[in-house]
Amino acid sequence: MFPKVTIVILNWNGKSFLQQFIPGVLATDYSDFEVLVVDNASTDDSLEFLKSQFPDVRRLALDRNYGFTTGNNLALPHVHSPYFVLLNNDVEVQPGWLKPLVELMERNPDVAACQPKLLSHQNKGEFEYAGAAGGWIDCLGYPFTKGRIFETNEPDNGQYEGESNIFWATGACMMVRKSVTDQLGLFEDDFFAHMEEIDFCWRAQNHGFRIMSTTESVVYHVGGGTLPKSNPRKTYLNAHNSLVCLLKNFPASQMPFKLFARLCLDGVWAFRALTQFDFKTIGAIAKAHWALFFRLGFWLKRRNQTYRGLSQIRLPQHGYLPRSIVFQYFLKGKRRFQDLVKPVEN
């Protein structure tokens, strides 16, 4: 008998996505699941639509837009199943998508979270940037995936099939073990959105859990449904939250050097934006750095609170590239995951 699963869908003015994708979620071929839509104070009558068209879907109405992080955190007291899935409202699923994720978690009690293969909804033969076949990071904390490095999305030719240990699972579709969040919490409230799943998966690994992916489950992600890639707000959140992830989770002996290196590379990023007269990106990067240093004491305290009781923080064993992805991609021209990691780690 399979355990119950709660599918948590965070929504903010996403009525059109709910209309398009909720029917497929409800058609999931699994014996015991429920759908909980958490609404971040939408103004497009999303909740009224759900109530009239899908009355069996549980609804949690929040009083304002709490972002992806706190919005999902506020859902946790309403989850009473051993597993839950964080599913973006712009993800298309197939009937058999859920069972392989549950089976993986049931076979591996030390796995905190897992993800399916994420393909592009617009081009279903191509990996989608938000998660592809599983997330990795490099020696400076830059995230990339099996199937997408920076702006290069690979076609899915079956090159990354199977189950795999990874560094982080995508928040667009991530199954989480509820007992782990009871112990460690879920997302960093102050992130609002972006990089929160990396911080959570990093924290879980530092506490002895694993993160995995399986290509037996496949979903299709629209992407950019809330903030497009070029949005300055998204640039700020990615730049700031990525630095905070590094500050919070790297071993203390390595963290100062890696943080300095990242700040320098952000300077290169800003210079590149200057050559393109992209002053919004420059402003977003500068704002991210200012926000980091303005609250440096807060984040160091948060780091101590997160790992209180651990004798030592070690680098996770899986999904870590001990080289610079920036150097490999821009200077050595390695644009595919399989060119970076041989053989592919499983």
SS3 call for 126: strand
Q: Can you read off the two tokens belonging to residue 264?
A: 């320098």
**Can you give the pLDDT at residue 200?**
98
Q: Looking at residue 223, what is its pLDDT?
A: 84
285-297: pLDDT as tens digits: 999 999 999 999 9
Q: Among 190, 209, 177, which residue's Cα sits nearest to residue 291?
A: 190
Give tens-digit pLDDT for 47-77: 999 999 999 999 999 999 999 999 999 999 9
Q: What is the pLDDT of residues 316-328, one digit of tens each?
A: 879 999 999 999 9
Confidence check: pLDDT of 18 > 70: yes
pTM of the model: 0.95
pLDDT over 90 at 315, yes or no:
no
DSSP H or E stretch at residue 8: strand 5-11
Task: pLDDT band for 229, please (50, 70, 90 cuts).
Answer: low
Q: What is the DSSP string of 306-335?
A: HTTT-S-----SSSB-SS-HHIIIIIS---
Q: What is the mean pLDDT of the chain?
A: 95
The residues, ordered by sequence, that sit 6+ positions from 107 with a Cβ below 8 Å of its Cβ are none
Q: Under the phi-then-psi rule, with left for phi > 0, alpha for psi from -120 to 50, and beta for the rest, what region is 344?
A: beta
What pLDDT, on the 0 to 100 scale, is given for residue 73?
98
Give alpha helix (H) positions in the chain: 15-26, 46-53, 67-73, 98-107, 178-184, 196-206, 232-249, 255-275, 279-294, 296-306, 325-326, 337-340
Is residue 228 over pLDDT 90?
no
